[in-house]
C-alpha cells in the first residue's frame, strides 16, 4: 500500500509541534507559537492547491518567477548587509526558504526533459545566495543539485557540474555573514535539549522524519525516487546549522520553511510526467 500525502505533511508538522511546545513551555512565546502553528495550517492549505498544479507545464512558474522573488531581496533593506527577507508587517519572510523547495521539485520534475534548464535554475539560485549572502540555503540547494546531477548527467559533464556546484558553494561560504543566532531559531535543537533531554530527543527524531517527508510525498503517487533531491535539500539545510548560525527548518521559529516545504510536498504528490526525452 502506498503512503499518503497527508503522512508527508504529518512528518513535516512533527518538528513544528515539538518546537512550538518547547517555545511555549520554556520561553512562554505564545505569539510565536501561534504564528508557527498558523504556518502549518497555511502550508497544508497551499499544499493541497499545489497537488492540483502540474508545475512542469508552466514556462515561468517553476523557475523564473521564484528566482525573481528571491533575487528581489537585494532591493530591500537588509540587516547588517545581509539581504534574505521581505517585511510583511511584523513578520519577516525568508524568500529562499519560501520558494527554494518548489524550485528543487521543479528541477527534479524537469531533469529528464530539460536537464540543462534544471541545473541552470539551481545554479542561478545559488548565485543569488552568493549575493545575499546565505550559505545555509546555498548548502541545501547544492545538496539537491549534486544529487540531481549525479542522476541525470554522466561522464565529464557530471564531474564538471559537481565541481561547479562545490566551487559556487565555497564562494558563498567565504562571504562575510555577521548575523548571530536568534533565540529558538538557529539554536532550536540546543534549546530543546536544555529544556529537557526528552524534548531534545524528540526534536532530533522529528527532524529525521522531516527528511523522509519528501520521499513519502513522492511515493504517494508511485514516484519512488522523485523526493530524493528535496530530501537532500532538507539534509543540507540541517547540516548547515551544525557549522553556522542558520535557522533549523521547521523546529526553529520561522514560517517560511514550513510553508515552502509544505507546498513542495504538494507538488511532489502530483504524478510525474512521462519521460519523452533521453538523458544528457
- Helix/strand/coil for 150: helix
% of the chain surpassing 90 pLDDT: 72
Domain ranges in the chain are 5-268
* pLDDT at residue 274 greater than cutoff 70: no
The rounded mean pLDDT for the chain is 91
- C-alpha cell, 266: 504538494
* Model confidence band, residue 280 (pLDDT cutoffs 50, 70, 90): very low
pLDDT in tens, 30-58: 888 999 999 999 999 999 999 988 776 67
**Among the listed residues 2, 40, 54, 62, the one whose alpha carbon sits nearest the alpha carbon of residue 249:** 40
Helix (H, G, I), strand (E, B) or coil at 230: helix
pLDDT, position 279:
46
Question: Tell me, what's the pLDDT at 277?
Answer: 46
Amino acid at each position: 500500500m502506498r503512503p499518503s500525502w497527508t503522512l508527508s505533511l504529518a512528518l513535516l508538522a512533527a518538528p513544528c509541534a515539538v518546537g512550538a511546545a518547547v517555545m511555549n513551555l520554556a520561553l512562554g512565546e505564545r505569539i510565536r507559537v501561534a504564528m508557527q502553528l498558523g504556518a502549518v495550517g497555511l502550508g497544508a492549505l497551499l499544499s493541497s492547491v499545489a497537488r492540483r498544479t502540474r508545475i512542469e507545464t508552466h514556462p515561468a512558474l517553476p523557475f523564473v518567477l521564484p528566482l525573481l522573488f528571491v533575487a528581489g531581496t537585494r532591493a530591500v533593506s537588509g540587516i547588517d548587509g545581509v539581504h534574505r527577507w521581505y517585511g510583511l508587517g511584523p513578520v519577516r519572510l525568508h524568500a529562499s526558504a519560501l520558494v527554494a523547495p518548489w524550485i528543487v521539485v521543479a528541477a527534479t520534475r524537469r531533469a529528464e526533459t530539460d536537464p540543462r534548464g534544471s541545473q541552470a535554475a539551481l545554479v542561478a539560485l545559488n548565485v543569488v545566495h552568493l549575493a545575499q549572502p546565505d550559505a545555509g540555503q546555498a548548502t541545501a540547494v547544492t545538496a539537491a543539485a549534486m544529487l540531481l546531477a549525479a542522476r541525470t548527467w554522466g561522464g565529464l559533464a557530471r564531474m564538471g557540474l559537481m565541481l561547479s556546484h562545490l566551487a559556487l558553494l565555497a564562494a558563498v561560504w567565504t562571504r562575510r555573514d555577521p548575523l548571530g543566532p536568534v533565540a529558538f531559531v538557529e539554536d532550536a535543537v540546543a534549546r530543546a535539549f536544555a529544556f529537557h533531554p526528552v524534548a531534545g530527543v524528540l526534536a532530533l527524531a522529528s527532524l529525521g522524519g522531516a527528511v523522509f517527508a519528501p520521499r513519502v510525498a513522492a511515493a504517494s503517487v508511485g514516484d519512488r525516487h522523485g523526493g530524493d533531491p528535496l530530501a537532500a535539500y532538507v539534509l543540507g539545510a540541517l547540516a548547515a546549522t551544525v557549522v553556522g548560525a542558520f535557522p533549523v527548518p521547521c523546529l526553529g521559529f520561522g514560517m517560511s520553511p514550513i510553508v515552502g516545504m509544505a507546498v513542495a510536498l504538494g507538488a511532489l504528490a502530483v504524478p510525474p510526467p512521462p519521460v519523452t526525452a533521453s538523458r544528457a
